[in-house]
Each structure stands twice: as structure tokens, then as C-alpha cells.
Amino acid sequence: MRNPPSSGRRASPHAAGVRPAPGSAPRSAPRSVLAQRVRIIGGYWRRRMLSFPAADDLRPTPDRVRETVFNWLGQDMHGLRCLDLFAGSGALGFEAASRGAERVVMVEQDPAILRALEASRSQLGEPPAGTRIELVRADALRFLEREARRGSDPAHGHDVVFLDPPFRLGLLPALLERVDGCLAPGGWVYVEAPAASNEGPGVLESLDSSAPWCTIRQARAGAVEYRMLARRVDLQQDANPDTLAPHE
């Protein structure tokens, strides 16, 4: 979250109408900072850093949580197609690419954050062999609706969808209603949301037995709960629901 300006900041001499003495060096303008950094923790780009702008709703998934998530996914992402629907810092999408995912689509609506993602992709250089990264500027819900209109073509289905929307927007119920249309058979959906607290139940507790989704993994980090979801119908048909099948 951005910090408010300090009330104790010293006034600039220029603001008071005082000119610097002849020959003195001019004061530099305040530096704009890409204030945040996060590292890739595994795979081809292990330990490489990603920079991104400060923004109120931008919360990169912490290292320890990502380590758990990619343990759930099996570490090696070769042959899997991934969608990072609120790409933000790129921590999840670039992590999946670093681990060899066949295709990673990263969706981001904010133009400044998208430019930072483009810069990160350029700085990282060539991805692992066989990996393709696509950056898309779009509203998440509209993107899902557009994907659903493409039908159930297996060439366009995603094996893993990362859903980590800004908590304050309350988008998860609407997203989970729509994400089914772009998920490959047997695919998984990763979600993050506020956990239960003294103020009330967690957002994900509404995923009850009547919902189309089943929780296959779950954990908590502080005030955040995160889960891996699968379609209930896929689990009924899959003899080995604990693993994702790569594409041939």
C-alpha cells in the first residue's frame, strides 16, 4: 500500500522562491521508484528478480506460499498450459514459465503494471525451450467470457488457472462461475482469499458441497487462505486426481 506523504518533509528552496547560488548544482527531481521486487524461486530462472510498480491492490504471492503451491502442482510444469488472470508482479506466471510450462498467458488490466511485466519478460530473456509467454491487457471477467465463446477446443483450454484478484473487489464468486469455460478437462484452479477471522467467515468457506468445485489442497498464511480447486465431475472420473496430466 502506498504510504501517505510525510507532513514533516522539508520544503524545497525553489518552492519558497529561493534560487540556488550561481554555479551550484541543480537539485535533482524526486526519483520515481519501481518500488517492489520479488524473486523467482525455482526452475530455469531461479533467483532472478522481478520489478513492479507500487500499487494498493498489488500483493505478490510470498515465496513460501509459492513454494507450497508449486509443490502441489508437481514442480515440473512441462506440457502444462497456464493462465495467470491477475498477473500483477508476474510472480505466479513467470514462476510457471521458469518451471517449463508449455504456455503461460498473463492477463493484466493496468497499463503501468503491464509495461512492468513486458520489461520483466524482456530482462529475463529467452524462456525455457518449448515455453511460450503471452501478455494480454484485458479485464479479467471479459477475458473469461471471450475465452468461453471460443468453446471447449482442447487447444485453448488451460490446465492451471491462477486466481488472485484484489481482495477488496470481491470478484472470486463471479470468477469461479466463469472460469470453467476456459479450463481443460482435469484442470486445476488456484485461489487466494481472506481467511476466516473474528470478523467473519473466510471467502472460500462458501465453497460448499453443492458447488461445482472441490478443494483438493488448502493452506493458510497469516490472514490469507489459499486453495487448489478441481471440478467435482473431473474428480469423479479421474483415477489419479492428485496429479495433472501434461499434453502430449
Residue at 66 is within a domain:
yes
Say whether pLDDT at 17 is over 60. Answer: no
In a domain, 10, yes or no: no
Range in 9-23, 42-56, 139-153 with the lowest mean pLDDT: 9-23
C-alpha dihedral, 202 to 205 to 211 to 215, nearest 10°: 100
pLDDT given for residue 5 in this prediction: 43
Residue 215 domain flag = yes
Query: Which range has the worst mean pLDDT, 29-33, 165-169, 177-181, 205-209?
Result: 29-33
* Domain-located, residue 114: yes
The domain tally of the chain equals 1
Strand 132-137, strand 103-108: pairing: parallel
Confidence at 196, pLDDT banded by 50, 70, 90? confident
Residue 187 lies in a domain: yes
Closest CA to 156 of 142, 137, 143: 143
In a domain, 218, yes or no: yes
Provide the mean pLDDT of the chain.
82
In 3-state terms, what secondary structure has residue 104? Answer: strand
Q: Are strands 213-221 and 183-194 parallel, antiparallel or unpaired?
A: unpaired
Whether the pLDDT of residue 19 is over 50: the answer is no
| Residue 49 · residue 38 · CB < 8 Å | yes
Q: What is the mean pLDDT of residues 3-29?
A: 42
The pLDDT value given to residue 199: 73
Q: pLDDT band for position 201 (50/70/90)?
A: confident
In a domain, 244, yes or no: no
pTM for the complete prediction? 0.81
DSSP H or E stretch at residue 184: strand 183-194
| Strand 224-231 relative to strand 213-221, pairing | antiparallel
Query: Considering the domain boundaries, does residue 188 fall inside one?
Result: yes
Q: Which residue has the cell 498473463?
A: 106
Sheet with 81-84, strands from edge to edge, namely 132-137, 103-108, 81-84, 158-163, 183-194, 224-231, 213-221
Q: What is the CATH number of the domain that holds 161?
A: 3.40.50.150
Domain carrying residue 189: 36-237
